[in-house]
Structure 1
Amino acid sequence: MSENRQALVVHAEEAERIGLPHGGGFRLLADAVHTGGALGANRLSLGVGAAGARTHFHARSTELFYVLDGVMWCTLDGVTTTVAAGGLVSVPPGVPHSFGAAPGSGAELLVVLTPGVDRFGYFRSLGRVQHGLASFEDLLAEQERYDVHFL
């Protein structure tokens, strides 16, 4: 990890938006390249009852979800729970997890991965997969690069 001695400020209108078919989407806030490898961050909006991610794990990073609004469900190592606005979920490396918006609810999530991995390309690819413009196999080929390992 390289040392980054510069502060990062990202204004809402500057964040790249990747739309998802359910009306939600990603706002790409910070990639590892912007933070000297310290973290990556995005804001994820999930439509009512929308799936967020199928079961996967990160080998090198901890993933943190802070629920800004709505209710999310998450399955952590086979155990499912819901977390409402103001709640936090921290998933250590190696723990299989999946998540989405709870039935009948949308969810606004701040998602932070630390240490960071340059994953903006992953989110762009995921958007193409969600819109049927690419196949899921395209993501599978990049699991090691993006530290997203699907089960």
Structure 2
Amino acid sequence: MDGLILLPGQGRTLVTKAQDITFKATHAAGSSVSIFEVVVPPGFDVGAHFHEQSEEFFYILDGELDLLAFEPVDRTVERWQDWKSPTGQTVVRAGAGSSMFVPTGCPHAFTNPTNTPTRMLFQAYPSPDHERYFEELSDIFSAGQTVDSSAVQRMRDRYDVHQITPLRYGPAPSDEPQNLEHR
């Protein structure tokens, strides 16, 4: 089997109301890890969630995201941005060159709190679950002017996405971090 080389801008791209996702390495190409380039728009918040069977890796290429990857003392259901771990870890404001590894079962989240898009490389193991997830998400987001939140939740349930706080997208509330560590 041959390898795969993609130059900038190459790969199959899904454009949704929430994110642009370009498939870089897929199950169909023989990869056991799904790799995507994702553009996260201002205000997008994936919501805190965990996976029972998947591991994920995020690498910020351009821009900033607020990141969380720990079990909090208290899993509040409305906002993850105020969570703290038993060791005092809090949400981190991360810029280009920052990464986040998420082992199976670990609560995690990211949001773009700025007014500019953020570009990240995202890897999910095993493939092809996240590939199918993004394809179905694109279909749901493209179905009309409004997004059917119950359809999104049913889809997330099928793909091992155990939501803790809500998925949100819309204008960024502020470009200023609120009591967040900047790395």
Q: How does the TM-score come out when normalised to structure 2?
A: 0.66
Counterpart residue number, 2:150: 137
* Pairing partner for 1:40 from 34, 47, 70: 34
Identify if the C-alpha distance between structure 1 residues 91 and 147 changes in structure 2 by more than 3 Å, giving closer, same or farther. Answer: same
Unaligned runs of 5+ in 1: none
Counterpart residue number, 1:125: 136
Aligned residues of 1:57 and 1:150 also touching (Cα < 8 A): yes
- 1:13 Cα deviation from its structure 2 partner: 5.1
- 1:76 Cα deviation from its structure 2 partner: 2.4
Aligned length: 144
Aligned residues of 1:70 and 1:85 also touching (Cα < 8 A): yes
Q: Distance in 2 between matches of 1:119 and 1:58?
A: 11
Q: How does the TM-score come out when normalised to structure 1?
A: 0.77
1:1-151 matches, within 5 Å, as 6-12=2-8, 14-21=10-17, 24-36=19-31, 38-47=32-41, 49-77=42-70, 78=83, 79-131=90-142, 133=144, 135-143=148-156, 145-151=158-164
Q: Rg larger in 1 or in 2?
A: 2
Aligned residues of 1:72 and 1:106 also touching (Cα < 8 A): no
Identify if the C-alpha distance between structure 1 residues 115 and 6 changes in structure 2 by more than 3 Å, giving closer, same or farther. Answer: farther
Q: Distance in 1 between matches of 2:158 and 2:60?
A: 27
- 1:125 Cα deviation from its structure 2 partner: 2.5
Matched AA of 1:28 = F
Q: After the TM superposition, which segments of 4 or more aligned residues of structure 1 sit over 6 Å from their partners?
A: none
Unaligned runs of 5+ in 2: 71-82, 84-89, 165-183
Matched AA of 2:58 = F
**What is the CA deviation profile of residues 117-145 of structure 1, one whole-angstrom value per residue up to 9, with x for unaligned ones?**
33223112323444563523223333454
Compute the RMSD of aligned alpha carbons. 2.5
Aligned residues of 2:15 and 2:138 also touching (Cα < 8 A): yes
The alignment-based identity, stated in percent, is 22
